[in-house]
Structure 1
């Protein structure tokens, strides 16, 4: 199926961006998009939730996995076959407490890396790191409650690379991450890995 406006193919993951009114439920919009992608009416989609709220498509959807995230006035959705995915979207806005949050919730090496950056670069680096962490944790299924410090990233050019993680997440090499801008003033990261055995 060709890509529609607002869609992007990132490795095995198809992503779609659309405007979103903050406070409205996102799932009906996601259902409509997923139905088009999977070739059926929205009512035919069977979406359940894992214990910590991660969405799962029913078994009759052929091994597809989905994730979505909203921030500001945007919604980002993802769909892929035969991999487990997580996606995070962040609206770029001032984050004057970025270093305080990093010191409290990130690994010590990440907080130190951020602290060493010039002020004008620190907030953007913090958002990129936050997106990367949250995308992996959404794919894992437990989300932020798993602990942001339990996966460690190191700078790699203008981005971050996963270098260490809790064994519950697998090995760092199991994961592929891709950061991108789905719209002006928004940053996103999609993460994927093979399904757990």
Structure 2
């Protein structure tokens, strides 16, 4: 496991684990680990709950009341990713790279500017570019606390890049695509007016990215597009 390096900068930390659909839920294990490391308490003191919208809540009880840690969870086939941040809201999304009708999906779901950008990209990498935009929208929606509701798929994203960049619009949200591993696209978003760093504390290794689960793949992507 990677070692946590806590700096004075606003940082979103990312943990990655296998998801075989068994118990205990690997997301819960990673959430407790994140809470213990970033809140400075034993894992047994970390309380996991959910808010009214079903989003995970990580907290520890102090004399003055509960202290919460901003967290976000994403799953794809055989993989679970948890992001945590002390400086404010965070969102994360991960997808495996696989064949997709990228332009058809973009035509249906994305704004014209993103469709045009995607159409100008090299065909060989178009699926990855589509997934970068898609995961960015998912991560930003989670950081905003409303997912893809209210036109989230039409929300214009910055040009995909490694560092977190401001999302066009009035709300101070940043999103970027830190490298995670071959065959994966990761997006991390933070509600912040200034720079947010990302540190992958526990990344893929020991064959993690190649491992497949027998469970059904969990993804928000539509897989069938009919017509235009």
TM-score range, shorter chain: 0.7 to 0.9
- Contact (CA 8 Å) 1:18, 1:75: kept in 2 or not? yes
**In the alignment, is residue 190 of structure 1 matched against residue 178 of structure 2?**
no
Which residue of structure 2 aligns with residue 78 of structure 1? 83
For residue 69 of structure 1, the aligned residue among 65, 74, 87 is: 74
Residues 128 and 160 in structure 1, CA contact (< 8 A), matched pair in contact too: no
- Between 1:155-164 and 1:118-127, the stretch displaced more is 155-164
- Following superposition, the deviation at residue 147 of structure 1 comes to 2.4
Please tell me whether the aligned partners of residues 14 and 83 of structure 2 are also in contact (alpha carbons under 8 angstroms): yes
Q: Comparing 126-135 with 6-15, which one deviates more in the overlay?
A: 6-15
In structure 2, relative to structure 1, the CA distance for the partners of 1:149 and 1:182 (3 Å cut) is closer
Secondary structure, aligned partner of 2:143: helix
* Aligned position for 2:52: 50
Distance apart, 1:50 and its partner CA = 3.5
Q: How does 1:10-21 map to 2 (within 5 A)?
A: 11-21=10-20
Match of 1:143 in 2: 147
Aligned to 1:179: 177
CA contact (8 A) 1:63 1:82 kept: no
Q: Please tell me the root mean square deviation across aligned C-alpha atoms, in Å.
A: 3.1
Whether the 8 Å CA contact 2:160–2:177 is kept in 1: the answer is: no
Secondary structure of the residue that 1:77 maps to in structure 2?
strand
- Contact 1:8/1:15 (<8 A) preserved: no
Q: TM-score, normalised by structure 1?
A: 0.76
Which of structures 1 and 2 has the larger relative contact order (alpha carbons within 8 angstroms, sep 6+)?
2
Distance 1:44 1:182 in 2: 27
Single out whichever of 15-24 and 103-112 deviates more from structure 2: 15-24
Q: TM-score, normalised by structure 2?
A: 0.67
Instruction: Indicate the residue corresponding to 2:111 in structure 1.
Output: 107
Deviation at 1:6, TM superposition (A): 8.1
SS in 2 for 1:155: coil
